[in-house]
Amino acid sequence: MGRQAAVVLYVIALVAVIVGVDILFFRNLFWERLLVNIGIVLVFAAFYLRFLKPS
């Protein structure tokens, strides 16, 4: 159950970062927002694969 809770917290952190960046910096810029969101997801995916991936 601990691993599942860590993944849920990780996804919540991902969503919070994306929403926060969207609201603070890229409110009316669609393409820039899309590119930054893709970058954020890729960074989170890399950290997931490095530290939280089940062995």
Could you give the count of Cα atoms lying within 13 Å of 50 in the half-sphere of its Cβ?
6
Number of domains comprising the chain: 1
Range of the domain at 18: 2-52
How confident is the prediction along the chain (55 residues), in pLDDT tens digits per residue? 688 888 899 999 999 999 999 999 998 999 999 999 999 999 999 999 998 777 7
Specify the pTM. Answer: 0.86
- Tell me the torsion sign for CA atoms 3, 7, 10, 12: negative
Can you list the alpha helix ranges (DSSP code H) found in 1-55? 2-25, 30-47
Q: What is the pLDDT of residue 7?
A: 87
How crowded is the C-beta side of 45, counted as CA atoms within 13 Å?
6
